[in-house]
Amino acid sequence: MGGDEQSHRYRAHLRDRLQRQRHRRGQRGPQYPHGGGI
């Protein structure tokens, strides 16, 4: 029923994680303390 929506959500989640990782790598330092959480 909502398979398409689930896959879309999963993809968005993966992209978000990738972006966050890249952000953390790009800006090293205590300015961006993104530990966990959205």
The whole-number pLDDT of residue 33 equals: 58
The whole-number pLDDT of residue 38 equals: 46
Picking from 32, 5, 4, the residue whose alpha carbon sits closest to that of residue 19 is 32
Measured CA angle at 1 (ends 37, 12), to 5 deg: 30
The whole-number pLDDT of residue 25 equals: 56
DSSP secondary structure of 2-18: -HHHHHHHHHHHHHHHH
The whole-number pLDDT of residue 9 equals: 92
pLDDT in tens, 1-38: 567 888 999 999 989 888 887 655 555 555 555 555 54
Helix (H, G, I), strand (E, B) or coil at 20: helix
> Alpha carbon 31 to chain centroid distance?
18
pTM, entire model: 0.42
